[in-house]
Amino acid sequence: MAHLSFERTATPLVRSSGAVAVHLLIWTALLLLHPSWSSHLSSFVPSVGPKRKVSCGSAFQQPRASAAAAAAATVDAVSVANDKAGSGISFQEEQITLAGGLKVPPMGVGAWQWGDSFGYWSYSPDMDPELQGIFDTCMDSGITLVDTAEVYGLGKSERLLGNFEKVYLTNTPSEPPREKTKPIVATKFAPLPWRVGRRAVVEACRDSLARLGRTQIDLYQIHFPGVWQNEAYWDGLADCYEQGLVRAVGVSNYGSDMLRKVHAKLAARNVPLATNQIQFSLLYRTPMEELAVYDTCKELNVKILAYSPLAQGLLTGKYSADDSSNYPKGPRRLLYRRTLPKAAPIIDRLRILADKYDKQPAQVALNWCVSKGVIPIPGASRLRQATSNIGALGWRLTADDVAELDTVAKRSNVRYGAGIPLPD
């Protein structure tokens, strides 16, 4: 989950409700100005008259892409690929049990890129067959947690995910035949200013269910703190849980103080708070080093879902400060130019460790996240990216290598931020 991109310098930014409000107002403006807004408006603004039915779309007719071979996932362990390309040999990774009992793999996949056509990721429908292949590969490899949000592509990401799940579960089984694993779907409610009261959360949840083509969401999260109505939103989140619309609830972009408040509010209704989704990577260690939120999550048994764990591609090792010819287009290009010179020592160390473990730099960066006790949810818009991500599991960096990466990252004095600033 990332909204607006900006580079953080060594000086901490002011983290307050005012900063959140600015981001929220900008997001609202983007939604209103987006050319496809009118066709999606009723999904986010209270409707007048009978509720419009949301179409989940039809299944894709293209043949699904070949999925990576992997052993079947068991109830308490997930099979993941471990060779350098991210497919081939299978290993067992223990699943993580969240507060409330939902079991998830130690890594997921983020679906912000699936359907986003704001210009940041430049989604187009001709990507759908490969995205289906990514979904299939992740499911077959045990990476069953998929994170989306109602604002990603203004509902398009949820509709795509619903289609991908339908095609995956109904297509001809892979060889040898086996029971397919049902995905663990996480999505998010956007606390936009015009959404009033707890009912807004329940209604939005039902709309997400319609787009996903599901009767229950596995993990339902509040996308970011609202400028008001937060306690009402928390009640709405608990209502969704009590009504059986969701299996587990979480928040996103919550700092320590807000996390304690929502945790206490939900606990009063016997609703466990399962997760807090925040930005976390080797280039953004603020939640762990400067803020209390990392420790607060541990204290409250709230698991961290780490978005942008590869710093939007900066930590893949594909890019160099000396050659900008392959930099991505759009806003990330400018951010790469500003960040890569300072990030070079971190990327060099990732390359060295990648050679040591016969891995890729991106796999080392993701393994570092896992070693810190968080669940990374890297995005993937290409099948090769998904297979690379899978290869981050099934092995671990040594404690000395983790400490070495920590030291190099601190010395680099660079922070690449791509999300809403966390209040403490």
Active-site residue numbers?
152
Residues belonging to the chain: 424
| Cα(77)–Cα(91) distance, integer angstroms | 9
- Amino acid 241 reads Y
| Cα(22)–Cα(25) distance, integer angstroms | 5
User: Prior bond to 35 cis, omega within 30?
Assistant: no
| Cα(250)–Cα(196) distance, integer angstroms | 20
**3-class secondary structure, 263:** helix
**Do 405 and 353 touch, CB atoms closer than 8 A?**
yes
Strands (E), 40-193: 77-81, 90-94, 96-97, 103-104, 109-110, 145-147, 184-189
Q: Find the angle CA(203)-CA(209)-CA(210) to the nearest 5 degrees.
A: 90
| Cα(262)–Cα(267) distance, integer angstroms | 8
| Cα(186)–Cα(153) distance, integer angstroms | 16
- Amino acid 8 reads R
Residue with tokens 């810190």: 372
| Cα(145)–Cα(376) distance, integer angstroms | 10
Q: Any bridge partners for residue 303, and if so which?
A: 275
